[in-house]
């Protein structure tokens, strides 16, 4: 057996901690300050993540998301953080013609990824993101009965908030990784790895990143095998069915919230996503497993003109 | 983004390399104890051996299987008085092995959860008790080999479902054996 190597977070002046939050492991790493300062900054960053979790969890009946879902067509005032995420979700839904849609909570409940809340009113099957009204003074109401889930965007936002907490604490360099939604800052570029979509413990160096975010969506750990089909939590808002491609999508953007949400747009429709990525200044890579050659993958990179096969370029 | 990203995949994309199994040590148990209870001057090891009745209680209340009847537990002591508990636990999935620590106050409320170590592997080693056992004791300051190349993985880790189940099990354990 190969020796197991470990990246020791106590290396040099770097401090790294991980806690179970947001339904995944959230890892925060900081460097370039005294140990007490790094410890304080990490605590503040975890507190920021916990704050976003408390506001935007579908599971927690006290969260803004649960309150909005219960309030339905009556309307309710939410926290400015929640409002900001809802506003961004609307902008991405608009730009993508609904390829990003936070009203897919009923489908996620149906597929077993979210809990059933008995106290919610039945949804209107025709309702979608367009029926979420964002009113002045952080008020939100639904014009048609629907249920929202911020699972496709709030994790990225929590990462952004954690990064802001680290920067506000005066830390010069750091990284926050919430189960694949990753953002880093500082002077030194770092290598970002992605997982093989068909063999998730194999890693591929993806890019160098100095200051920015990467979010990856892939069904490798979340898919479930049902007797008659495979389900994933990646719901295509147009068909309202799970995407089941053995594909991994990574989006690079300045903010992790954008990277997180845009990865769902690419998953739903790669071709339509090109213009949306461009509008938000983001870049994407799609990795498809090759069932004939398990170690090989088809890799495509986006630019403003479309998708380009990295493999054919390399072969040429 | 202002500039196009610096892609690394063009020449290397033909095949994924079987990277060495990924592992991180975040904290050892002593560091976790001090972080949970900075006011404590000592931590007294009081390992727990559950009776079969207690084990059955935990499994019923927590709704999860209790793999072990022994659990490493410490009492946090400040001014000679116990102020809380630190429980060390481990969970494993298909490819991952995670050790973590939970702090409880005297009423049995969770004060914090810290991941101590995260390890993943390609193979089925993680299902093998001997493979997992080789990491026991590593918490006590044994230096681990560094691999700083792989720190930034964009791509899901396992869900923390196993850890949530583990915390539920520890709360039931407190209920039946630590009160």
If we measure between CA atoms, which residue out of A187, A179, A188 comes closest to residue A156? A179
A203/B22 CB distance under 8 A: yes
pLDDT confidence of residue B143:
38
Partners of residue A188 in chain B, C-beta under 8 Å: none
If we measure between CA atoms, which residue out of A27, A313, A38 comes closest to residue A173? A38
Backbone angles phi, psi at B107, to 5 degrees: -85, -5
**What is the pLDDT tens value at each position of chain B, 179 positions in all?**
546 678 876 544 445 555 556 778 899 999 999 999 999 999 999 988 889 999 999 999 888 888 777 889 999 999 999 999 999 998 887 778 889 999 999 999 999 999 998 887 766 666 666 666 665 544 333 333 434 455 677 766 665 778 888 888 999 999 988 88
**CA A270 to CA A263: how far, in whole Å?**
10
Q: Which of B7, B14, B115 sits opposite A25 (nearest CB)?
A: B115
Between the alpha carbon of residue B148 and those of residues A87, A171, B24, B126, B131, the distances in Å are: 38, 20, 10, 23, 23
Which residues 6+ apart lie within 8 Å of A217 measured at CB? Answer: A180, A234, A248, A249, A263, A264, A266, A267
Strand ranges, E, within B36-166: 42-45, 48-49, 70-71, 73-78, 81-92, 96-105, 110-120, 152-154
**CA A302 to CA A118: how far, in whole Å?**
43
Instruction: List, in sequence order, every residue forming a beta bridge with A303; answer none if it has no partner.
Output: A306
Number of H helices, E strands in chain A: 8, 18
Q: Which residue of chain A has the CA closest to B148? A: A7
Q: Where are the alpha helices (DSSP H) in chain B?
A: 29-36, 52-62, 129-133, 161-173
pLDDT confidence of residue B160:
74
Q: Suggest the residue from B152, B164, B167 to mutate for an interface test with chain A (most A CBs closer than 10 A).
A: B152
pLDDT tens per residue across span A68-99: 999 989 999 999 999 999 999 999 999 999 99
C-alpha dihedral (B164, B170, B173, B178), degrees to nearest 10: -150
pLDDT confidence of residue A53:
96
**CA A218 to CA A210: how far, in whole Å?**
24
Q: Which residue of chain A has the CA closest to B122? A: A201
Partners of residue A10 in chain B, C-beta under 8 Å: 25
Those residues of chain A that have pLDDT short of 70 are 1-12, 220-221, 227, 291, 293-295, 311-316
Q: Which residue of chain B has the CA closest to A11? A: B146
Instruction: List, in sequence order, every residue forming a beta bridge with B24; answer none if it has no partner.
Output: A7, B118
Which residues 6+ apart lie within 8 Å of B76 measured at CB? Answer: B33, B36, B37, B40, B43, B82, B83, B84, B85, B86, B103
B26/A196 CB distance under 8 A: no
pLDDT confidence of residue A11:
45
pLDDT confidence of residue B15:
53
What per-residue string of b and e applies to A219-228 under the rule 16 or more CB within 10 Å gives b?
bbbbbeeeee
Contact between residue A209 and residue A189 where contact means Cβ atoms under 8 Å apart: yes
Phi-psi region of A75 (alpha: psi -120 to 50; beta: other; left: phi over 0): left
CB pairs < 8 Å spanning A and B: 220
What are A73's two structure tokens? 């067509």
Please spell the DSSP secondary structure of A110-145, one letter per residue: HTTSS---TTSPPPPTT--GGGEEEETTTEEEESS-
Coil, strand, or helix at residue B108?
A: coil
pLDDT confidence of residue A1:
33
Q: Which of B11, B17, B152 sits opposite A175 (nearest CB)?
A: B152
């Amino acid at each position: 057996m190969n020796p197991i190597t470990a990246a020791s977070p106590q290396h040099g002046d770097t401090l790294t901690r991980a806690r179970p939050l947001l339904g995944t492991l959230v890892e925060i790493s900081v460097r370039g300050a005294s140990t007490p300062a790094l410890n304080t900054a990490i605590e503040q960053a975890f507190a920021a993540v916990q704050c976003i979790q408390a506001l935007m969890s579908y599971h927690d009946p006290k969260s803004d998301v649960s309150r909005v879902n219960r309030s339905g067509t009556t309307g309710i005032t939410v926290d400015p953080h929640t409002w900001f995420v809802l506003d961004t979700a609307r902008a991405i839904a608009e730009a993508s013609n609904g390829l990003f849609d936070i009203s897919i909570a009923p489908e996620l409940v149906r597929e077993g990824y979210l809990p059933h809340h008995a106290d919610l009113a039945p949804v209107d099957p025709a309702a979608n993101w367009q029926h979420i009204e964002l009113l002045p003074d952080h008020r939100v109401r639904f014009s048609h009965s629907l249920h929202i889930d911020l699972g496709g965007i709030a994790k990225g936002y929590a990462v952004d908030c954690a990064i802001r907490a680290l920067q506000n604490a005066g830390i010069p360099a750091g990284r926050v990784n919430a189960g694949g939604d990753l953002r880093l800052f500082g002077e030194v570029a770092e290598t970002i790895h992605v997982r093989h979509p068909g063999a998730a413990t194999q890693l591929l160096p993806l890019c160098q990143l100095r200051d920015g975010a990467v979010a990856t969506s892939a069904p490798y750990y979340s898919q479930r095998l049902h007797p008659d089909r495979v389900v994933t939590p990646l719901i295509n808002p147009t068909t309202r069915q799970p995407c089941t491609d053995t594909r991994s999508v990574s989006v690079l953007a300045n903010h992790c919230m954008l990277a997180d949400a845009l990865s769902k747009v690419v998953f739903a429709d790669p071709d339509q996503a090109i213009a949306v990525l461009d509008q938000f200044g983001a870049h994407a890579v799609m990795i498809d497993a090759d069932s004939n050659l398990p170690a090989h993958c088809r890799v495509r990179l986006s630019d403003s003109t479309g998708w380009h096969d990295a493999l054919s370029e390399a072969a040429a | 983004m202002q500039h196009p990203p610096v892609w690394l995949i063009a020449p290397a994309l033909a095949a994924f390399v079987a990277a060495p199994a990924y592992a991180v040590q975040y904290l050892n148990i002593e560091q976790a104890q001090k972080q949970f209870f900075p006011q404590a001057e000592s931590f007294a090891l009081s390992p727990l051996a559950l009776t079969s009745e207690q084990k059955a209680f935990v499994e019923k209340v927590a709704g999860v299987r209790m793999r072990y009847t022994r659990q490493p537990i410490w009492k946090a002591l400040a001014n000679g008085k116990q102020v809380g508990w630190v429980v060390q636990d481990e969970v494993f999935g298909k490819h991952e092995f995670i050790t973590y620590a939970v702090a409880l106050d005297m009423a049995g409320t969770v004060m914090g959860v810290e991941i101590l170590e995260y390890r993943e592997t390609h193979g089925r080693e993680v299902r093998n008790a001997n493979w997992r056992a080789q990491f026991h004791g590593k918490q006590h300051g044994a230096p681990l080999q560094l691999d700083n190349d792989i720190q930034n993985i964009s791509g899901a880790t396992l869900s923390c479902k196993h850890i949530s189940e583990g915390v539920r099990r520890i709360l039931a354990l407190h209920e039946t054996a630590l009160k």
